[in-house]
């Protein structure tokens, strides 16, 4: 694997990892096809919606506490600014920070700028950001419009950096560049590695980088028991903290879809070892994840004690939950690796995962290691998932699959997806906190949550009785992959 931090651009996932957004079949088939570069994308001939790399880059960068993000884009690309502000504030509360508004600006490109260029507006916005917020760094995210008109954002950033004496970082994350919108995470991390992170001054044996979203703080307690400290990146970190992530003893990630690039880049550039193990969801994944962390940090004995005590603590309740949930049929929709993690977690609780709609698929990660592949881990440990689709959030495919399979419970990771379960009268919940299911306690958390939702079906039954679908009966009689072109 080679990461070129001299280049301002990150290679998109399609080219770097061979990632795809269209597949319909079984999870084991997908794992098999992912070996040896045999995976082809089945293109959608009809698309209802798509995500955007720019949004993924923004969602990470906007949570750096003392930075500002400028979206060099028309105002329409800022439609989700309010969402970022909301998640920022919710996440700050979870981590006991004083809630503050996100520091996000748009250059508001208009038609005139698309003819004469938006460079002057960008320069003015950089000055405005500096004067208004006195930030420690400014990130500039690109958009389709600024990419198409060819504004030289990198040069403008370099000139402003010389003048203002703070890092000003160009993030090339134009929406049109990649169908895999998680490329936006990679673009944001590429900018951080390229322009923010400094070579280590002093290595810290106890410090563990945790690449994460904005979930609750569970690692301070867990790592504290084995003499380690979490260094949460990127949300809610500071520029000073990010400059020193090269000093950590190891990098873990709660989701390889999120952190594949940054973890591999830190190992390549600064020798910070990445924990290459399945995500810590379900007993086996958690065991392997902690054991690998223990091996790297020379804490094997402490880890074994932690695993023993945690398992002794949760097993009585886990067994009760497994008895109650045995045989219940579940359906999952989520981003790639987190979706695979939820499959492992639910199977470990005794549920049968009858199907999944996952937003994209990475046949490998940047570290090219086999041991951390999350779908392979789920299939090899718990068995196949017969109805497995890769569907980049196409709601029409999801609704069709849910209607056919009629699971007992539907679990969604993203807002906008859970409503389809409720409309069909399927007990449904949305779980945005990815740390809720992590580790041994995560099994108990999820088990109780699933039971609660199963025991209160009236809510969704009422919604279903009054819901209207935008889809016709014709569509419900078609196969969910009707609009996927043929391919292997």
Interacting residue with ligand SF4 among 73, 226, 272, 293 (CB under 6 A): 73
| # binding residues, ligand SF4 (CB under 6 A) | 8
Residue (171 or 379) nearer to ligand SF4, CB: 171
The answer to whether the beta carbons of residues 377 and 345 sit under 8 Å apart is no
Residue (183 or 260) nearer to ligand SF4, CB: 183
The answer to whether the beta carbons of residues 44 and 23 sit under 8 Å apart is no
> In angstroms, what is the minimal distance from the CB of 268 to ligand SF4?
29
Interacting residue with ligand SF4 among 10, 77, 160, 228 (CB under 6 A): 77
Residue (135 or 175) nearer to ligand SF4, CB: 175
User: In the numeric block, which tokens belong to residue 448?
Assistant: 């109780």
Nearest residue (beta carbon) to ligand SF4: 175
Does residue 418 bind ligand SF4 (CB under 6 A)? no
> In angstroms, what is the minimal distance from the CB of 73 to ligand SF4?
5
> In angstroms, what is the minimal distance from the CB of 143 to ligand SF4?
4
> How far from 124 is each of 107, 131, 165, CA to CA, in Å?
9, 11, 16
The residues near 277 (Cβ < 8 Å, ≥ 6 apart) are: 285, 288, 289, 291, 292, 293, 371, 372
> In angstroms, what is the minimal distance from the CB of 28 to ligand SF4?
34
The answer to whether the beta carbons of residues 488 and 37 sit under 8 Å apart is no
- Measured from the Cβ of residue 202, the count of other Cβ atoms closer than 10 Å reads 6
The DSSP 8-state label assigned to residue 37 in this structure reads: G
* Phi, psi (deg, nearest 5) at residue 232: -70, 125
The answer to whether the beta carbons of residues 214 and 235 sit under 8 Å apart is yes
> In angstroms, what is the minimal distance from the CB of 144 to ligand SF4?
3
Query: 210: part of which helix (H) or strand (E)?
Result: strand 207-211
> In angstroms, what is the minimal distance from the CB of 175 to ligand SF4?
2
Interacting residue with ligand SF4 among 175, 355, 363, 439 (CB under 6 A): 175
Cβ-count burial of 430 within 10 angstroms (0-12 exposed, 13-18 middle, 19+ buried)? middle
Half-sphere exposure of 284 (CA within 13 A, CB side): 19
Q: Where are the alpha helices (DSSP H) in 134-255?
A: 144-149, 153-164, 183-195, 219-224, 239-243
- Measured from the Cβ of residue 144, the count of other Cβ atoms closer than 10 Å reads 18
Interacting residue with ligand SF4 among 54, 92, 106, 231 (CB under 6 A): 54
> In angstroms, what is the minimal distance from the CB of 68 to ligand SF4?
19
> In angstroms, what is the minimal distance from the CB of 21 to ligand SF4?
14
Tell me which residues in 139-168 interact with ligand SF4 (CB under 6 A).
Answer: 143-144
Does residue 61 bind ligand SF4 (CB under 6 A)? no
Residue (38 or 112) nearer to ligand SF4, CB: 112
Interface residue list for ligand SF4 (CB under 6 A) = 52, 54, 73, 77, 143-144, 174-175
């Amino acid at each position: 694997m080679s990461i070129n931090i001299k280049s301002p651009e990150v290679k998109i996932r399609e080219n770097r990892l061979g990632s795809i957004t269209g597949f319909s079949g079984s999870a084991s088939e997908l794992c098999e096809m992912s070996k040896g570069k045999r995976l082809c994308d089945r293109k959608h001939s009809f698309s209802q919606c798509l995500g955007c790399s720019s949004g993924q880059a923004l969602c990470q960068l906007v949570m750096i506490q003392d930075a500002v993000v400028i979206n060099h884009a028309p105002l329409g690309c800022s439609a989700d600014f309010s969402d970022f502000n909301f998640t920022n504030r919710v996440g700050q509360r979870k981590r006991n920070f004083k809630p503050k508004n996100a520091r996000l600006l748009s250059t508001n490109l208009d038609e005139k700028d698309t003819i004469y260029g938006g460079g002057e507006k960008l320069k003015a916005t950089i000055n405005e950001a500096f004067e208004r917020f006195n930030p420690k760094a400014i990130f500039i995210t690109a958009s389709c419009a600024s990419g198409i008109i060819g504004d030289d954002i990198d040069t403008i950033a370099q000139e402003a950096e010389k003048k203002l004496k703070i890092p000003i970082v160009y993030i090339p994350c134009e929406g049109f560049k990649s169908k895999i919108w998680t490329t936006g995470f990679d673009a944001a991390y590429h900018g951080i590695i390229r322009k923010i992170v400094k070579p280590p001054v002093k290595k810290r044996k106890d410090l563990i980088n945790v690449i994460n979203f904005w979930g609750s703080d569970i690692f301070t307690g867990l790592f504290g028991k084995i003499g380690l400290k979490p260094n949460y990146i990127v949300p809610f970190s500071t520029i000073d903290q990010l400059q020193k992530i090269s000093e950590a003893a190891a990098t873990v990630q709660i989701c390889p879809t999120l952190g594949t690039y940054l973890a591999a880049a830190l190992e390549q550039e600064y020798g910070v070892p990445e924990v290459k193990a399945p995500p810590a969801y379900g007993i086996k994944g958690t065991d392997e994840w902690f054991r690998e962390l223990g091996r790297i940090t020379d804490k094997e004995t402490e880890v074994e004690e932690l695993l023993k005590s945690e398992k002794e603590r949760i097993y009585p309740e886990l067994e009760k939950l497994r008895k109650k949930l045995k045989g219940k049929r579940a359906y999952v929709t989520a981003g790639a690796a987190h979706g695979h993690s939820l499959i492992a977690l639910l199977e470990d609780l005794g549920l049968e995962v009858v199907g999944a709609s996952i937003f994209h698929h990475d046949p490998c990660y940047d570290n090219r290691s086999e041991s951390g592949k999350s779908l392979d881990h789920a299939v090899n440990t718990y068995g196949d998932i017969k109805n497995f689709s890769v569907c980049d959030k196409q709601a029409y495919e999801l609704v069709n699959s849910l209607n056919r399979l009629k699971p007992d419970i539907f679990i969604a990771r993203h807002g906008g997806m859970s409503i389809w379960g409720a409309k069909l009268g399927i007990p449904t919940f949305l779980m945005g906190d990815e740390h809720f299911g992590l580790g041994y306690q995560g099994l108990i958390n999820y088990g109780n949550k699933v039971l609660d939702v199963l025991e209160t079906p009236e809510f969704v039954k009422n919604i279903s009785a009054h819901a209207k679908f935008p889809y016709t009966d014709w569509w419900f009689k078609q196969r969910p992959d009707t609009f996927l072109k043929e391919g292997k």
